[in-house]
């Protein structure tokens, strides 16, 4: 897993922090811990993020397109602002910024 949030994960994080009434800025560990304690369950966060994304799509007010250009690419690709994200996107966004512990992986029988 990449250590930095993807574009979709950053959008989800922005919406989550807005819902919590917080700004995305550097904080002490104690401040992050206080925010983590106030976080609603992941399913509630996922529903909120998708509701907000759908509101933005319905209003036709997508703030930008996402550019996935990387070094070595020959063409610039743009993706529309998302209308929804998966629950895994929300979960991995919170894991990447340290606000949730990663899920335990199931071990396959030998």
Segments making up each domain of the chain, as ranges: 7-96
Instruction: Indicate the pTM of the whole model.
Output: 0.86
| pLDDT top residue among 106 and 84 | 84
Distance spanning both ends of the chain, measured CA to CA: 24
HSE of 57, CA atoms in CB hemisphere, 13 A: 12
Tally: H helices and E strands in the chain: 4, 2
- DSSP-assigned letter for residue 32: H
pLDDT in tens, 87-100: 999 999 999 998 88
pLDDT in tens, 39-96: 999 999 999 999 999 999 999 999 999 998 888 999 999 999 999 999 999 999 999 9
Q: Quick one: which of 51, 60, 45, 47 has its CA closest to 91?
A: 45
φ and ψ at 6, to 5 degrees? -75, 175
pLDDT of residue 38: 93
| Rounded-to-10 torsion of CA 13, 44, 52, 88 | 50
């Amino acid at each position: 897993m990449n250590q930095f949030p993807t574009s979709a994960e950053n959008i989800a994080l922005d919406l989550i922090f807005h819902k919590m009434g917080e700004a995305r800025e550097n904080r002490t560990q104690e401040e992050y811990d206080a925010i983590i304690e106030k976080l609603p369950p992941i399913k509630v966060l996922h529903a909120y993020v998708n509701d907000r994304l759908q509101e933005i799509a319905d209003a036709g007010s997508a703030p930008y397109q996402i550019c996935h250009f990387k070094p070595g690419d020959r063409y610039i690709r743009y993706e529309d602002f998302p209308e929804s994200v998966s629950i895994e996107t929300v979960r991995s966004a919170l894991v990447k910024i340290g606000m949730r512990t990663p899920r335990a992986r199931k071990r396959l029988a030998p």
